[in-house]
Structure 1
């Protein structure tokens, strides 16, 4: 009888442990969410492969900073165009919206206002009314929210209520008080116009310094390598004045970033730090959407390395001088193939005095526009004139947090043809903004199928 009960118990245990499993006891791995590769909007796939990085043609400037070296890069997506004013304005508007909502939510919290009471209470934090929170949300609110400098970290903003910008429709005095703080002081306004105080538009994000963590002797806590950044996001429009002495460029200063006439032109006046902040925001913006749809997160958008930029600019053409290949800057019809300063300084000879629309001229063979001319572009790499001598031959990159000089590539509307060549190296300091420097982003391709081989 005892043996019969033991056999029945073992049978039940076997049924319980094998219920719902079809692996027959084999090692089959754990399945996660099904992965659906998605080409990011506005990007082209640059298939990985090997290329000769550096100056294979004559070094006319005799700078000796780009000796040839065969390297291999992995596949990645790259923006077909430089980031435009319209795209960067989306970033600025998001930061402005979030800043106002945060200020409103904090004041509503101080006043004890919650949605349903009208006025500023409609903009209270999502968790201000705990009746509809899940047990997990309550746990996180009572145990983790507010663990930071402001005391409001981790609390969700209410984005269901539309912000009101018409002063005649402000709902109450508290809303009016918050909105007043977002504009320049009355004494600084003129012609009856009070504009947004752009010094209030700051984007904060955290990132992990994996390079430092990997090389740390004795390990260290994970939090020791988390870096916090706070970046003013509004581009420096004064670059149109500061970059050129004794020159009349006020119309570009006044209109270039905000006028719809220039929406499809590349954004300028953005520092390397601001470009990095844009990448962090773009990643967050996409993954917030992915989270709503219960879909797997995408990997980060980032600035290209110097090697990735040169590889993409070459468009698969071996030892080409320019993105279109040959050593000439005119096509067979006698038209210039990029926006730069030709003919001993005749800016308008290529039909453009300043920048042109981001999708101008013919793209290269990777469908990338203006990889030569228009605006120079930030890369993620630090500039070292000797870096080609020691960087790896696989996904080479020189990143040094202490080196404030960052590589820019491609030449711009104010440069001569030499700087348009795919192998020409140049740099600018990371906290500088210029009227001739913009950027484009990349995203790693997940998988190994896409290669030139």
Structure 2
């Protein structure tokens, strides 16, 4: 019997060897053809070196940006700040997911499946065992009950549209779930009930690669020790329009700025650094979920730019420029202001804008980046240290100290004087702070040109 088994193995090995397409040559693993896509709404910033820091006069005498020649790799960057409309897509996705999860859990607890209709239409995908894949059944059998809630890993059903009109709710169980995500009657006024935005939380995991790499030489540690879990309330703080300015009437901006269609193309504000990071994680997941459904490879993560990447993109390839447009002046040769800021003491509207303007306003720089000066200041991934330029690397520099809660913001805003619009000016805000003048844009690492001949 043993001889027969060995003969069978030898015969199979012979067959696989004879059928080899490589003819025994070293050809590498034959993976899928990969054709990179230019991310929607982004521009390619080509790799290069530049003099980072204040080559012009340091009027504020901060001495926190001495000149230093550095090199950055190629990356894609949003050509505008993230808009209210784009951030609302994130909020709507989170709201949709939370409602579907609540519906699926209640349906599971009640033992109601799709065949019974009503809330059963929103049961977990694996509830319909006739349509569940082998993988779904395996996960249900082996991992059900694990995790914080016991429902982690179970796929939501998105075949049925959510019903928001109260007169069309399918049953009492559906009504119970929908009622739970709104503010109570006591907190409502004028007959309008609104979503309790504090319940809109996005939970995600990320791998602290830097900590893992530095710990790799200090003994064997489990991978899970470097997996971080974040849960973030993602709705913008609209009260910033009032809290940022004492003795000032800004209630209309508080009431309308984020949700009204009139402001859809304006930059989102009231976003903390943590919320901006959560948005980046969601955007990566959103794109990769779609790629997975179409059998395509995953894309690189979207993330906040490093301070060096931001300054390099803002300069637009102009080595010694004071502003993104290159020149030392904020007024063009036709007498027009080049950005949205506070040109004169108390006169916010001298540049034809009182608050923010649409994200795609004024002329872009030579990298086709809009509003790299003014409109809103922008979060970067880098932590703020006045002496950072003295010790950061000259290759892809980044002061990314996790324990430092002061995060670099760049570009100046609608309420700032011209000094803060300079491409080399550094400023900071605390990571948990939200302001009416701070927004963000995202970047993605570059991996190659798209093959237009395919």
Asked if structure 2 preserves the Cα contact closer than 8 Å seen for 1:269 and 1:434, the reply is yes
Counterpart Cα distance in 2 of 1:143 and 1:381: 41
Q: Which residue of 1 is the match for residue 373 of structure 2? A: 372
CA RMSD of aligned residues (A): 1.6
Question: Residues 199-210 of structure 1 correspond to what in structure 2 (within 5 A)?
Answer: 199-210=198-209
Q: Which residue of 2 is the match for residue 265 of structure 1? A: 266
Counterpart Cα distance in 1 of 2:33 and 2:207: 27
Q: Is the counterpart of residue 434 in structure 1 residue 435 in structure 2?
A: yes
Q: Which residue of 2 is the match for residue 49 of structure 1? A: 48
Counterpart Cα distance in 2 of 1:184 and 1:116: 32
Counterpart Cα distance in 2 of 1:105 and 1:9: 50
Cα-to-partner distance string for 1:367-418 (whole Å, 9 max, x where unaligned): 1100000000000000000000000000000111110000000000000000
Question: Residues 172-191 of structure 1 correspond to what in structure 2 (within 5 A)?
Answer: 172-191=171-190
Q: Which residue of 1 is the match for residue 62 of structure 2? A: 63
Counterpart Cα distance in 1 of 2:19 and 2:363: 57
Counterpart Cα distance in 1 of 2:282 and 2:19: 41
Q: Which residue of 1 is the match for residue 38 of structure 2? A: 39
Counterpart Cα distance in 1 of 2:313 and 2:169: 50
SS in 2 for 1:168: helix
Q: Which deviates more from structure 2 when the two are superposed, residues 272-281 or residues 341-350?
A: 341-350
Asked if structure 1 preserves the Cα contact closer than 8 Å seen for 2:36 and 2:449, the reply is no
Q: Which residue of 1 is the match for residue 113 of structure 2? A: 114
Q: Shift in Å at residue 181 of structure 1?
A: 0.5
Q: Which residue of 2 is the match for residue 409 of structure 1? A: 410
SS in 1 for 2:152: coil
Gaps of 5+ in 2: 1-6
Q: Shift in Å at residue 37 of structure 1?
A: 1.0
Asked if structure 1 preserves the Cα contact closer than 8 Å seen for 2:125 and 2:132, the reply is no
Counterpart Cα distance in 1 of 2:303 and 2:277: 7
SS in 2 for 1:380: strand
SS in 2 for 1:207: strand
Cα-to-partner distance string for 1:200-240 (whole Å, 9 max, x where unaligned): 10000000111111111223100000000000010000000
Asked if structure 2 preserves the Cα contact closer than 8 Å seen for 1:213 and 1:219, the reply is no
Q: Which residue of 2 is the match for residue 397 of structure 1? A: 398
Q: Which residue of 2 is the match for residue 101 of structure 1? A: 100
Counterpart Cα distance in 1 of 2:340 and 2:8: 81
Q: 1:119 to 1:11 in 2, by over 3 A?
A: closer
Q: Shift in Å at residue 448 of structure 1?
A: 9.0
SS in 2 for 1:400: coil
Cα-to-partner distance string for 1:290-330 (whole Å, 9 max, x where unaligned): 01000000010000000000000000000110000010101
Q: Which residue of 1 is the match for residue 286 of structure 2? A: 285
Q: Shift in Å at residue 140 of structure 1?
A: 1.7
Question: Residues 148-227 of structure 1 correspond to what in structure 2 (within 5 A)?
Answer: 148-216=147-215, 217-227=218-228
Q: Which residue of 1 is the match for residue 3 of structure 2? A: none
Q: Which deviates more from structure 2 when the two are superposed, residues 28-37 or residues 250-259?
A: 28-37
Counterpart Cα distance in 1 of 2:12 and 2:91: 60
Q: Shift in Å at residue 10 of structure 1?
A: 12
Counterpart Cα distance in 2 of 1:192 and 1:305: 46
Asked if structure 2 preserves the Cα contact closer than 8 Å seen for 1:125 and 1:156, the reply is yes
Q: 1:9 to 1:231 in 2, by over 3 A?
A: closer
Q: Which residue of 1 is the match for residue 310 of structure 2? A: 309
How many residues matched?
442
SS in 2 for 1:130: coil
Q: Shift in Å at residue 14 of structure 1?
A: 7.3
Asked if structure 1 preserves the Cα contact closer than 8 Å seen for 2:36 and 2:448, the reply is no
Counterpart Cα distance in 1 of 2:124 and 2:23: 50
Counterpart Cα distance in 1 of 2:22 and 2:248: 74
Q: Which residue of 1 is the match for residue 241 of structure 2? A: 240
Q: 1:20 to 1:349 in 2, by over 3 A?
A: farther
Q: Shift in Å at residue 12 of structure 1?
A: 6.1
Asked if structure 2 preserves the Cα contact closer than 8 Å seen for 1:45 and 1:75, the reply is yes
Counterpart Cα distance in 1 of 2:351 and 2:108: 57
Q: 1:154 to 1:13 in 2, by over 3 A?
A: closer
Gaps of 5+ in 1: 1-7
Asked if structure 2 preserves the Cα contact closer than 8 Å seen for 1:340 and 1:413, the reply is yes
Counterpart Cα distance in 2 of 1:215 and 1:87: 36
Q: 1:410 to 1:14 in 2, by over 3 A?
A: same
Counterpart Cα distance in 2 of 1:12 and 1:108: 54
Q: Which residue of 2 is the match for residue 74 of structure 1? A: 73
| TM-score, reference length from structure 2 | 0.95
Counterpart Cα distance in 2 of 1:139 and 1:189: 45
Q: Which residue of 2 is the match for residue 5 of structure 1? A: none
Q: 1:286 to 1:145 in 2, by over 3 A?
A: farther
